[in-house]
Amino acid sequence: MSTPLAKQSILFIISINIFTAFLVFALCKSYTDDQVDMAMTQSVDYITKMPTIKVFNTTQITNELREQKVPLQKIVSYIERYIKLHKVKGIILIDSNSTLAIPDSAKAPHLTMQELDELSEKYGITSEYSVDSLLSDFNKTLNMKN
């Protein structure tokens, strides 16, 4: 037979255990929520710092400009400034010839000559290459291999 004092002691011990279990549960949940929030913040931070990669088709761009009767020097300037513009914006460009499949979301936007001129002016982008300098570099490279 148990005495009323023993029953009170048992109830007191049970209530302390329940309170302790609740306290541990609350602390663990708070710790877990903090860990989830921290992991989410780190993930978003990591993703936003990753460079954007876009694919562009130099052959298609060149053909379109040639169909519009754009002189070769302007085509060279267009491609150079197009690449520099994306570099300034922190976008990595990959030629479509180097890819197997290209989702629409990965395609670099097509810019008209006027749009590129305006953006080049806005970002201070100038063309450094000329057709003659490119041909000269090409011939030098060719001669070095022979």
Q: Both tokens of residue 13?
A: 């011990």
Q: What is the pTM of this model?
A: 0.61
Q: Both tokens of residue 89?
A: 């914006």
DSSP-derived secondary structure for 21-43: HHHHHHHHHHHHHHHHHHHHHHH
Q: For residue 104, what are the contacts with CB-CB under 8 A and spacing of at least 6?
A: none
On whether the CB atoms of residues 124 and 72 are closer than 8 A, the answer is no
pLDDT tens sequence across 26-74: 777 777 777 778 878 887 777 777 778 899 999 999 999 999 999 988 9
**Which helix (H) or strand (E) element contains residue 56?**
strand 52-56
